[in-house]
Amino acid sequence: MKLRRRPSGPQAFLFALLLLAGCSDDASEEGAQDRVVIGLVGKSQGNAVFQAAYLGAQAAAVELGAERGLDIVIDWQTPPDEDAAAQAAAIEQLARSGAAGIAVSCSHAETLTPAINRAVDLGTEVVCFDSDAPKSQRFAFFGTDDNSCGAQVMDELAKAMGEKGSIAILAGNQAAPNLQARVAGVKAQLLKYPEMNLVEDGVFYHEEVPEVAAEVVARGQSTHPEIDGWAFVGGWPLFTAGALRWDPGSVKVVSVDALQPQLRYLESGHVEVLLAQDCFAWGYRSVELLLDLIVDGQKPEDVRVVDALKPVRMADVDAVNAQWKSWLSEG
């Protein structure tokens, strides 16, 4: 099988449970599989949403590789901590080492756009997931519509608060374009609720580390005891225990993401609603989109492939846990 690549293009870290045998690229022996290397560059290794994306990419490598008769290798090149320059270096290294495709969640679009463009010029196809670089030469984006995401967070929070009271926004990395758009979505939707307001200096940016995020929330609530509700545009503090230091229900919280560690905050009553992004699909669908282009020469009909958010409430915890156990092959 010949893979469809630009004529100028060159042609990991794998989970031990998903060993994939390697073969040479352009049909060396009869019956040999073409080897396709796909780089995966999330924002940080410690962020559980990118660990979930990696699991999805690995599942796609196994399932879609078997369907297509390909040996698909996922090369995990996510930096230990969020670092756009490290992401850019990883993209360039992957392209120069012959990766056929790269999936990346951009910590900072302006920093990553030149690296993405150089990779494409070398013949490596690039798709963005979760956080886009829309001015780059990436061929598609898969993930949430971030303005709509922020609006949905605000609507759920207003419902939980009876459309009255003061709110704050937990906003993550100030340079991340997806998070900026979510914050803008919260603010725009807030205007539809005349008896609600954002407290002064009520947008809290922070390093995307669970313990750091939890401390930012604690300080914010202590500094502004008038806060009645929090809009978390990412669920960072909910990955650590004891992050919400108030009696359940006394301060309302609506958060993006619904990974297993976060579900305990629904069960305890500290969080009203989690809005689930399909983080597993970030990896799976990105690999699928890349293979469609690399192997079949097919691009998606829409450059932006939007994945809808799913509200998760206390009654949904068991079903969501079961889904995660299925993805992680634990049950």
Alpha-helix residue ranges (DSSP H) falling in 4-47: none
pTM: 0.78
CATH number of 146-276: 3.40.50.2300
The average pLDDT across 24-51 equals 76
Residues in the chain: 331
* Tokens 């690549």 -> residue: 5
Q: In the predicted model, is pLDDT for residue 60 greater than 50? A: yes
CATH number of 34-143+279-300: 3.40.50.2300
* pLDDT reported for residue 6: 39
Q: In the predicted model, is pLDDT for residue 210 greater than 50? A: yes
Q: In the predicted model, is pLDDT for residue 8 greater than 50? A: no
Handedness of CA 84, 6, 296, 69 (dihedral sign): negative
CA 52 vs CA 58, 62, 282: distances in Å? 10, 16, 8
* pLDDT tens-place string over residues 134-154: 999 999 999 999 999 999 999
* pLDDT reported for residue 176: 87
Nearest-angstrom CA–CA distance, 203 and 9: 44
Alpha-helix residue ranges (DSSP H) falling in the chain: 48-68, 84-96, 109-121, 146-160, 177-190, 210-223, 260-268, 279-296, 317-327
**Of 32-36, 66-70, 78-82, 92-96, which range is least confident?**
32-36
Same fold, 34-143+279-300 and 146-276: yes
More confident residue, 20 or 326: 326
CA 6 vs CA 65, 149, 310: distances in Å? 21, 36, 38
The domain ranges of the chain are: 34-143+279-300, 146-276
Half-sphere exposure of 264 (CA within 13 A, CB side): 10
119 φ/ψ angles, rounded to the nearest 5 degrees: -60, -45
